Amino acid sequence: MLDRHCHIIYGLDDGAMDLNESIEMLHAAKNAGVTAIVATPHVCNKTFDFQLAKARKEEIGNHAKELGIELLLGAEVHWNALAKIPLDSIAQYCMENTNEILIEFNLHGTLPDDMTHRIYDLQRQGLTIIIAHPERYEFVKKTPAIALDWLEMGCLLQLDANSLLAPLYSATRKSAFAMLKQDMYTYYASDAHKADDYTRFSRATAWIKNNYRDSIA
């Protein structure tokens, strides 16, 4: 099983704090049935140290191989960072060996005014846009049609699987299940920041496989 969204590279963001925690996350991922991980550190501005990310990915990757896990590098690029990164440089943040780029918005912000124009600019660069955890954005919870607009624009939606385990009557959980029922998601992922997130991911994955085996990966 491929986990396409994980903050396992230590010292880059609010995920793993040190190498030991990265290794702990690897073991938890293996226990959850994960065989490959795309490490997606947050890219919040153009000063992101991509070379450091590559070096630590290789370091952690050696431990991953011992567990039978393939570790790939990608990024979770914040919308505000996109405007500051030259278009011809953005491709380096794609998931390794793909043209897919994972982007996120402010969870509690408003829909960016330049969203449509910017997405089309990225697509003209040959990139496939994946929207991270759409069910968690306040503007999607209030106006679910925004997620449909993304799909009509050719974007793909990626579920934070652990959103399915949110409190029973939470807006995030309600939004996640609504989009699942409409087959709006192409992918699901852990968005793991710590080892315990993989315990929850295992539970969410089991439910998805039992109910949406053929429609989401």
Per-residue pLDDT, 63: 97
Residue type, 145: A
Position 26 scores a pLDDT of: 98
Q: What is the pLDDT of residue 46?
A: 78
What is the helix (H) or strand (E) element at residue 171, kind and residue range? helix 171-181
Predicted pLDDT at 150: 98
Instruction: Please enumerate in sequence order all residues whose Cβ is within 8 A of that of 182, keeping only pairs 6 or more positions apart, or say none.
Output: none
Return the CATH superfamily for domain 2-211: Metal-dependent hydrolases (3.20.20.140)
CA angle 66, 192, 14 (to 5 degrees): 105
Distance between CA 140 and CA 105 in Å, rounded? Answer: 11
Burial of 45 (0-12, 13-18, 19+ CB in 10 A): exposed
For 24-41, give one letter per residue: b (16+ CB within 10 A) or e. Answer: bbbebbbebebeebbbbb
What is the rounded distance in angstroms from the CA atom of residue 181 to the CA atom of residue 179?
A: 5
Q: What is the pTM of this model?
A: 0.95
Phi and psi angles of residue 42, each rounded to the nearest 5 degrees, phi first: -65, 130
pLDDT at 177: 95
- Residue 181: exposure state from Cβ atoms within 10 A (0-12, 13-18, ≥19): exposed
Residues of the chain with confidence (pLDDT) below 50: none
The pLDDT of residue 209 is 86
Tens digits of residue pLDDT in 155-173: 999 999 999 999 989 999 9
Burial environment of residue 65 by CB neighbours within 10 A (0 to 12, 13 to 18, 19 or more): exposed
